[in-house]
A = this chain, B = another copy of it.
């Protein structure tokens, strides 16, 4: 690959932007050339092979060491991220904690071993005649490309869940740093790489590249076996097009776009409308509305109780000032989408804050309103930022009909009272095929990282049946491998007769470890 290119390689120095001021400062980072990216991928692949000689517990120890490194570098990382993202130190400290927690949770899962799905069918007579012995477990796919997101500089970036889950599965990882927080990415990477080296991991097991072109090189590279991506629908589509052109397709796990509808029932509006208005306002403006789980569309009943909810949200939005966005692209896109929604003429503007003057990137909370019967697809669009579309409805049938124009999402939320169970059950039946998580009497933001969590959903939320958050996220970077009549000594330890300390299914019966 290096010898095939004839383009002279220019060194492009990358800059880091402070979104609060728009000030750009040069970094000592340069855009990774195609040749350099190839070297990084090959090193990762070699490291993957070298690390394969280590057992599961070694890997769990590595994950713990990476968690410790994140905690140890917390202040430095938070300072860099605050400068590059404007998200504030409280949020960012929490996010580093969440990231190290993720590594430790995967370490726990790796030690427990159930994720391997170890399954043994002994040989012998069967209803179809004599059969060989089959033993199967999940094994790593190899080297994985991980694209950091803009909105989580830690938990969905270099030190994020894709990295942790890919490493937990026994893979090597090559990261594509997000252009919006290059310094944070470089410092996160340095912390992880240093800890991995100190732990004795093979050089290159975690690699990194910078720049859009290097990202494309990764996705097209024959040694990359899977891609983890959290970002925009357009960005994801562009990478999927690259994958479609590969001679050998690979899985693309994209977490792309989500509107996250929320329904407030008449009962809920009557009993606790004020609290819901406050909670919903907090949720759609959290982190300047820059969450993939942000509730972007809220169905509110017509009538006085619903009016009060809407008025309270609009008032809070009207009083709020502008808050900083992650980068100029998001700020421009937010303005465009907000203006486009308003230009449809089918929404009423209940609150429209004004972005700060000046060179920074900001947006102010915006609340639009329409009715269920007039809701159209051009209003049911994700606006990344603090924007909420309120949809007033008279009865549940209107909500159900309106859902036809709402894109499938990561989540749906229902606020209701116990007396409304039948109606809520009908709503849940509507939402179930359309989302990956249904939230009751809460808010979709503030995603719990745990064993049961599922962060995924039908297209365009994601393009897969897998989760990018929680323990099951590791499944994306594993593949099954079966052994037929293998001599015991040639089996992976987890498939040998004496390895009884992990959950395994033997002759169809699940056994605890």
Q: Which residues of A contact B (CB under 8 A)?
A: 52, 94, 97-98, 101, 108, 112, 114, 117, 119-121, 126-128, 131-132, 134-136, 139, 141-142, 240, 244, 248-251, 418, 421, 424-425, 428-429, 432-433, 435-442, 448-454, 456, 458-460, 463-467, 472, 478-487, 489-490, 503, 505, 507-508, 510-513
Chain B positions within 8 Å of A438 at CB level = 481-484, 486
A112 touches B142 (CB 8 A): no
Given contacts A251-B464, A465-B478, A466-B480, 4 further A-B contacts (CB under 8 A): A119-B452, A121-B451, A451-B507, A465-B480
B490 touches A448 (CB 8 A): no
Partner of A451, one of B119, B432, B439, B442: B119
A127 touches B112 (CB 8 A): no
User: CA–CA, A376 to B252, complex, Å?
Assistant: 31
Chain B positions within 8 Å of A249 at CB level = 240, 459, 463
Chain B positions within 8 Å of A453 at CB level = 121, 134, 136, 482
- Beyond A119-B452, A453-B121, A505-B114, whether A436 also contacts B490 by CB under 8 A is no
Partner of A486, one of B135, B435, B440, B512: B440
Chain B positions within 8 Å of A114 at CB level = 505, 510
CB distance from A479 to the nearest CB of B (A): 4
B436 touches A480 (CB 8 A): yes
Nearest opposing residue in chain B for A453, CB measure: B134
Chain B positions within 8 Å of A459 at CB level = 248-250
Chain B positions within 8 Å of A108 at CB level = 508
User: CA–CA, A453 to B136, complex, Å?
Assistant: 7
- Beyond A436-B481, A437-B482, A472-B480, whether A132 also contacts B465 by CB under 8 A is no
- Beyond A248-B460, A448-B132, A465-B251, whether A487 also contacts B418 by CB under 8 A is yes
Chain B positions within 8 Å of A135 at CB level = 452
A484 touches B101 (CB 8 A): no
Chain B CB within 10 Å — which of A139, A141, A480 has the most? A480
Chain B positions within 8 Å of A128 at CB level = 94, 97-98, 101, 449
Chain B positions within 8 Å of A435 at CB level = 481
A489 touches B449 (CB 8 A): no
A440 touches B480 (CB 8 A): no
CB distance from A385 to the nearest CB of B (A): 24
A442 touches B132 (CB 8 A): yes
B132 touches A433 (CB 8 A): no
Chain B positions within 8 Å of A478 at CB level = 465
A454 touches B480 (CB 8 A): yes
User: CA–CA, A51 to B131, complex, Å?
Assistant: 35
